[in-house]
Structure 1
Amino acid sequence: MITSVPAIRGHVLPLPASDPGLLRLMAGLRTVVSIGLTLLVLVISGASLLVQVTGAMAALISTVAVSETLLKDQFRTLALGLPVACAAAGAGTVLAPYRVIADVLFVLVIFGAVYVRRFGQRGKALGLIAFQMFFVAQFVQVKPGMLPEVTAAMLVAFGCGAGVRFGLLRVTPEQTLKLLMGSFRARLRLAVGAMVELSEQEHERGQEREPGQDREPGSGSAAWERAERRLRRRIVHLHDCALMIQGRLEDSTPDARTATSVQRRVAGMEIATERLAAVLLDTERPPHTSALTGRLRELSAAVSRDWLQARLPVGLSYVRDRLLGFRENEGLAGTPFADQEALRAVGELAFSVLGLRVALGTAGSETDDDSPRTRQYREELETEELSLRAEAVPVAMDLEELEGEQGEEARKQKLKEEEKAAEPRGLDRPSTRIAFQVSVGSALAIVSGELLSPQRWYWAVLTCWVVFLGTSSTGEILVKGYRRLAGTVFGVIAGVGLAGLVAGNDTLAFILVLLFVFAMFYTAPVSYILMSFFTTAMLGMLFTVLQTYSSDVLILRIQETAIGAACGLGAALLVLPVRTSRHTDEQLRTVLERLRDVTEEAVRRLSGDQADSAPPGGAEPVPVDLLDSARALDDALDELRSAVQPLTHPVSPLRSRSQNARYVVALLDTAAYHARGLAAIAEQLTGDSRIVPDPRVASAAGRLARNLRTLTRHLEEPEEEPEGAVLPSSDTISVAIIDHPSRSPVGARVARHIQRLDEIVTGLAEPLGVRVEGGTGSRGEARL
């Protein structure tokens, strides 16, 4: 069971769905409070203004750089970061009078800071601290005689940062997970609310149609279309929150079994919500009636309670009396046919809510008000949990017998070694390639920036550095450079205006500095333009506090930013370049491989084959976690979305490729939903509840796997003719859904998922330039 948060956090207002787990809020607060405490200590001790600025920057950097999940890992990184910060600041200060030597060392520091990112979060943090503190020494222009004071200021900064992180604003992984669960419920409530709105608009639109007239795609009113867009957006937000929860379960739950159980139930709730949304958005179905709107309102009331996972019933009156019954077709007699599938989906969602509470251990504390049906479902879920956990026990026992007490650790280490062996080496390794690119770009930025301004050249270097962070292709660097420049321009405009308003009022200017620092880190994960805007506006206020403000300085920042972005783009084009088309093809191939892994494993389990896939050479079989595989598919799809941003950006001149990329990503989004649905069903079925295989479903699954392999081979060698062609999808599986004698609601959903995957993968052939067997299309270049 997940550890409770402190009582003081139990009275938190309903969590904002826009900030899952309050992660952005806490990041901004930690940064501002750390800076404030550091400045308070330094002011009381009588430190000079330059030392105060250095200490404040050190507090900011030490807070932002550390990003591990576990508190003990954060402490170790912070402890290692202090000597790194002192060494970098000391080197930057001592070598400042020797411009050429300092510039050469700066480039070497930049190379090392990027290269060590290959060592994970700690390497990334230490590299960032080294770069930023060397940069701060240049920015503040610390004198060698001030090094003792600066070192003491950094000790204060790191100490205050640690006090805030581990004391004042201490947040454990368990607390973060609990807050994420609250945000998940908030987003679920918003999604169901959007369903209610869509159903209401559908009913109003249905009244405007003539009797017997079916609804047509694209024929909705403006209000209905707004409701549709809102629902789709909220389903995406719910999915993002589910991924955040799944990514933190390992470090936030008492044991692996609890993590697996919660992961399974969260995925089940997400899939149930997506299924209900898909039914409501399906324009090929008959229009829904007003009765469905009433049931959706009941569902909305049920999921709107228990914001912080308190031990309270989650709308059990509705769950008991009506919603759960829809899952087993109870109460559907006499219901309009158009509503029946949606009501079954409502029942599945209500059941999944109860399932998550059982997994969290919050469903057994209030059984007095249970109806027989609710008690039956709770017992069914508890039995299912025990059965699923029992199936996992033999695997763990075999591992212990084969490998001894350290068997599990040895297996994890072996998997890590295998992953490491599969990583690219040499210049093909992303961290190495980017290290060379950013070093060359920074050298160009230093030279160009100093020609423009010997005092402010470091802004060009900083821009060159940041445009490479989180990017993998020249197109992504171009987009990020454009966003930074746009944010800087808007920030300069705001900075000039605010400087005039607060002129002579240093206290107000300082308060605005802290507010802008908070806004920088609160908006960073959402919008890079906003982050750049607040950064530049903050600099304007900082110059006001330092009494060095000048509009010319802010204009110079725009120029240096443009130079840095241009140098970064030039280095990306000339040094070990990675073209956008190559990068998108690689990411697309990864998505297709992950999709094939999930579907093949899910179909294998659903067909009754319990054996784990054995690797070649007689090696020990490795258990496959389907939900982890589905999460890997989602991660790969997110990387593909980032990779195609240069193509899908509104200012992209490549209109044809932009439309093609949007179409392919939309198809893969839908495919990922159906793959998650298969994975969730396969994970929740126990050994005695396998679905009876149907030859037509098996045929479609085999065709799906073959087509995915064909598309993947074509992407691996786009210049060569691939062997074979994509097999066309078949309508026979639709018959299997309807007339198979052993069909069940679950079996029908499995068949529908496979049918849609079959159609989607076949539909990918044309935009990727692969011929469909029996078709007249010709092969083209495999490129988004």
Structure 2
Amino acid sequence: MFSGFQARDCLLANDPALSRLRMALRVTLTIVFSFLILLAIHMFILPLPTAAFGLGIVLSIEGGVAVRDKGNSRQLVTRLFGCVASLAVVGIAAGLEDRRLLSDLVFLVVIALASAGRVFGPRGFAIGMFAFTSYFMGAYFRPPLAELPEVAIGPVVAVLVGHLVRAVLLPDDWRRDLLRSLESVRGRINQILFKLAAIAGGGEIGEADRQELRQLEDRLKEVVLMAETFIPRPPAGVFDAAADPAAELAIRLFDAHLAAESAIVLSFQSPPPFALVHAVIEADAAELARFEGMADAIRDQPQGETVRALLWLGEARQQLTQVIAEGQDSGFSEIDAIKDTAQSQAIDFSLANPLLRSALQITIASAIAMSFGLLLSRERWFWAVLASFLVFTNTNSRGDTAMRALSRSLGTVFGIAIGLVLATLMSGEPAIAIPVAAVCIFLAFYFLQVSYATMTFFISIVLCLVYGMTGVLTLDLLKLRIGETMIGAAAGTAVAFIVFPTRTRGALDSALARWFQALRDLLGALGEGKSGFELMALSQKIDACYRDVTVAARPLGSSWSVVTRPGQIRQTLAIFLSCTYWARILAKNYDVPAAADILNRLIAADLALIDNAAPRGSSCFLIKRKASRTTGRHLPLSREGARLGLEMIGSALERLYPQADVLPFATGEAIARSKQG
């Protein structure tokens, strides 16, 4: 049975910094409090139209999800601008109610302006979402002009309540988030150790075990990247180790990440002893000291490498635990607050800007969805437009858009199926239906960042419960809801493939270009004699670029894709992951070298391999590969870590194009020389 600390570690391991939990609570509490306030006004002060409740609920959602400014004052300004935009478009929708064709055309103008507003950054995005959803609700509920003062109460209440919930009840606190993210790092390291213990108990490692460890490694990388964003950095991005208290924290996080990666890499070669993994988990000093002596005795054997990797991970984990304990005691009070050094950039209003191309795509998709939606229903076509608008959110290629459209359609179908059953069972029981709806709202936004289909599933259940409580739930209505959603999803997908299409491979090519350039920058810095935090920062940039590569490659390896098989995608990503890992090893171990000539030749060889591979872009993902062979030794000794890191980076780059005849000898020759030396 889990203790409270174990349950918290488990939660943090799956929700770094509890960010998903906090967002879901913010949205749910804002909706509940706004609804209760509007209900009290309706019952005790003056009757409110349905549109006021509808706007209050949807703007409560947008206030919790779309407002992403840093700082309470900026968030309040954005909410107030959003409220003004909401009232303006609702007034326009009400004024044009008798001219439905003109109203529909104005809706498209609002969609175009709302989506184009994203070029202005987070504030433009939020105001655009407020305007779009408000016009949607205004055209849907059709409030008379005479009721606009009462309707305006809904947006005003939602904006004020949303700000109070975020600023007072559940405020942002980077020190708290930093501490929780560090705890999440420890939790994911623990998951890796538990898996290694299971492997050690079995005595051998299978392909399923390798795949699970790679997934755990990716999840660790994800939360480490999040934790790094909470560590305050100087404007140049490079710490002063002597003067900046945050530097020590950055080193501890870097070491813990690298040690965990090394333990995984070495375990592929030789599974660790079960007693050692258990000693690391329990922080058993006596047992760890015994294994330190054993590691010296078998240092040249694969098992010795694995033992040393686990000992390193145990030490790094204890240091991370110490940092967490100090943070719990002091709240990182010695670290200066994060300073916003972001500078405003010139806005590109040309079609070369992908945000403006996306705005045009969204507008065209909405027009198509509106046309076909009107053929299906004059009263309910708004669902089609909503679906076509939302399938473009957070997508960077036509493959991404197709996946999101499919997720929305599947979530809607299954959510309505379950919602119909629940609404039927709870008919006439609002005391049960309302709490269930609140729970579903919470779950929808808790899973928003994980699974769009899951979010849509729970939202569809909520709509069914609302229909049931208002007495308009019918099977025909639900069929219409599914049909309109599929029209919108299909329109969005079609436009993504036809109008300014961003091919999945095109997006992947761009991500790979950034990754190769980041690796070039690191190798170039080595050639210039840089070391320490400068190299760490460059290796962390490679890490972030690798994450972008995995996101861009996701549609290419999805189960519906006819481009290639997911196995090939995983194999190629494993090569990039290996290279990223060795870049971190290189950054950690590189210092003013004694054998500069050898290292300079290795750097030149690796740069030549990059120049050969980078122009080929994503074609490396289409190559059928044999099972990767085990490389010799992985964990570098401090005296030769830089040389080995350069050799392994070259080896990984050569594996991208195993049939390449350009510079196939460079790294191999260097490795042979290093072995002789």
For each residue in 1:686-723, what CA deviation from the matched residue of structure 2 results, as whole angstroms up to 9, or x when unmatched? xxxx44335444322211111112222344999xxxxx
Change (3 A) 1:193 1:15: closer
One of 336, 352, 370 as aligned partner of 2:316 = 352
Counterpart of 1:398 in structure 2 is: none
Distance 1:518 1:192 in 2: 32
The answer to whether the 8 A contact 1:477-1:569 is kept is yes
- In structure 2, how many angstroms separate the alpha carbons of the residues matched to 1:252 and 1:44? 50
Quick one: which of 691, 712, 717 aligns to 2:614? 712
1:44-92 CA-to-partner distances (Å, cap 9, x unmatched) read 1224461323322222222222223433433332233222222233323
Return the offset for 1:454: 1.0
Provide the rounded CA distance (Å) in 2 between the counterparts of 1:426 and 1:325.
66
1:705-784 equivalent positions in 2, closer than 5 A: 705-715=607-617, 745-766=637-658, 771-773=661-663
Alpha-carbon distance change, 141 to 466 in structure 1, aligned in 2, over 3 angstroms: same
Q: CA deviation at 1:37?
A: 0.8
1:443 is the counterpart of 2:367: yes
Listed as ranges, the matches of 1:458-607 within 5 Å are 458-601=382-525, 603-604=526-527
- Structure 2 vs 1, CA of residues 361 and 26 (structure 1 numbering), >3 Å: closer, same or farther? closer
Q: Which amino acid aligns with 2:540?
A: R
Native 8 Å contact 1:117 1:431 kept in 2: yes
Deviations 1:500-553 (A, max 9, x none): 111121222222221111111111111111111112111111111222111211
After superposition, what is the alpha-carbon deviation per residue over 1:714-738, rounded to whole angstroms, capped at 9, x for unaligned? 44999xxxxxxxxxxxx9x989x99
Partner residue in 2 for 1:120 = 121
SS of the equivalent of 1:472 reads: coil
Task: Call closer, same or farther: CA 1:236–1:10 in 2, change over 3 Å.
Answer: closer
Contact persistence 1:15–1:182 (CA under 8 A): no
Within the alignment, does 1:678 sit opposite 2:665 as a pair?
no
Aligned equivalent of 1:231: 213
User: For 1:10-89, what aligned pairs fall within 5 Å after superposition?
Assistant: 13-14=8-9, 16=11, 17-46=13-42, 47-48=47-48, 50=50, 51-89=52-90
Q: What is the root-mean-square deviation in Å for CA atoms of aligned residues? A: 3.6
Q: What is the CA distance between 1:272 and its match in structure 2?
A: 0.6
Q: Paired residue for 1:214?
A: none
Deviations along 1:639-698, one digit per CA (max 9) or x if unpaired, are 322323332111222336x5544432221122112222223344xx6xxxx443354443
In structure 1, runs of 5+ residues without a counterpart are 1-8, 206-219, 303-317, 367-388, 390-407, 612-622, 719-730, 739-743, 776-784
Q: 1:771: how far off?
A: 4.0
Q: Indicate yes or no: 2:264 matched with 1:264.
A: no
Give the match for residue 626 of structure 1: 535
Deviation at 1:271, TM superposition (A): 0.5
Mapping for residues 139-154 of structure 1, pairs under 5 Å: 139-154=140-155
- Checking the alignment, whether the CA contact within 8 Å between 2:364 and 2:495 is kept in structure 1 is yes
Alpha-carbon distance between aligned partners in 2 of 1:173 and 1:152, rounded to the nearest angstrom: 33
Q: 1:38 to 1:363 in 2, by over 3 A?
A: closer
The alpha carbon displacement at 1:144 in A equals 2.2
Q: Work out the CA distance in 1 between the residues paired with 2:604 and 2:281.
A: 40
Question: Which whole-Å CA distance do the structure 1 matches of 2:119 and 2:188 have between them?
Answer: 35
CA displacement 1:481-503 (0-9 Å, x = unmatched): 11111111111211221121111
Cα offset for 1:338?
4.4
Residue in structure 2 matched with residue 5 of structure 1 by the alignment: none
2:378 aligned to which of 438, 444, 454:
454
Judge conservation of contact 2:412–2:482 (CA < 8 Å) in 1: yes
Which amino acid is the alignment partner of residue 92 of structure 2?
A
2:306 counterpart residue number: 342
- How has the CA–CA distance of structure 1 residues 595 and 610 changed in structure 2, closer, same or farther, with 3 Å as cutoff? closer
- Count of aligned pairs between the two proteins: 635
Residues 19 and 111 from structure 1, CA distance in 2 versus in 1: closer, same or farther, beyond 3 angstroms?
Answer: same
> How many angstroms does 1:27 deviate by?
0.9
Is 1:177 paired with 2:163?
no
* 1:383 aligned residue: none
2:241 is aligned with 1:241: no
1:357 Cα deviation from its structure 2 partner? 6.0
Q: Distance in 2 between matches of 1:604 and 1:364?
A: 41
Q: Deviations over 1:162-205 (max 9, x none)?
A: 22112222341221222212222211211111111111112xx5
Match of 2:626?
none
Give the Cα separation in 1 of the matches to 2:124 and 2:247.
29
Residues 360-390 of structure 1: per-residue CA shift (max 9 Å, x gap): 7829999xxxxxxxxxxxxxxxxxxxxxx9x
Instruction: Determine what percentage of the aligned residue pairs are the same residue.
Output: 24
Take 1:96 and 1:263, find their aligned partners in 2: how far apart are those partners?
58
TM-score scaled by length of structure 1: 0.74
Cα 1:630/1:121, change in 2 over 3 Å: farther
C-alpha distance in 1, partners of 2:58/2:483? 24
Residue 200 and residue 600 in structure 1: after superposition, are their counterparts in 2 closer, same or farther (change >3 A)?
farther
2:136 corresponds in structure 1 to 135
Counterpart-to-counterpart distance in 2, 1:557 and 1:14: 40
- SS in structure 2 of the partner of residue 426 of structure 1: coil
2:261 match: 274
Who is 1:741 aligned against? none
In 2: Cα distance, 1:201 partner to 1:600 partner: 44
Shift of 1:32: 0.9
* Residues in 1 aligned to 2:49 and 2:199: alpha-carbon distance in whole angstroms: 58
Amino acid at match of 1:644: A
Q: CA deviation at 1:438?
A: 0.8
SS in 2 for 1:653: coil
Q: Distance in 1 between matches of 2:429 and 2:258?
A: 55
How far apart, CA to CA, are the structure 2 residues paired with 1:338 and 1:624? 31
Normalised TM-score (structure 2): 0.85
1:209-234 deviation per Cα after TM superposition (whole angstroms, max 9, x unaligned): xxxxxxxxxxx5xxx55544433322
Alpha carbons 1:174, 1:252 under 8 Å: kept: no
In structure 1, what is the Cα distance between the partners aligned to 2:156 and 2:462?
A: 24
Match of 2:575 in 1: 667
Q: Report the residue type matching 2:308 in the other structure.
A: R
Match for residue 727 of structure 1?
none
Q: Per-residue deviation at 1:630? A: 3.0
For 1:75 and 1:541, how far apart are their aligned partners in 2?
A: 32
Give SS of 1:362's match: helix
Contact kept? 2:527, 2:603, Cα under 8 Å: no
Q: Does the CA-based 8 Å contact 1:54-1:140 persist in structure 2? A: no
Q: 2:193 is matched with which residue?
A: 192
Amino acid at match of 2:71: L
Residue identity in the other structure for 1:704: D
The letter of the residue matching 1:701 is I
| Contact 2:372 2:487 survives alignment (8 Å) | yes
Q: State the SS of the aligned residue for 2:391.
A: helix
1:599/1:679 contact within 8 Å kept? no
- C-alpha contact (below 8 Å) 2:182/2:324 kept by paired residues: no
Note if contact 1:671-1:757 (Cα within 8 Å) is conserved in structure 2.
Answer: yes
- Shift of the 68–774 alpha-carbon distance from structure 1 to 2, 3 Å rule, reads closer
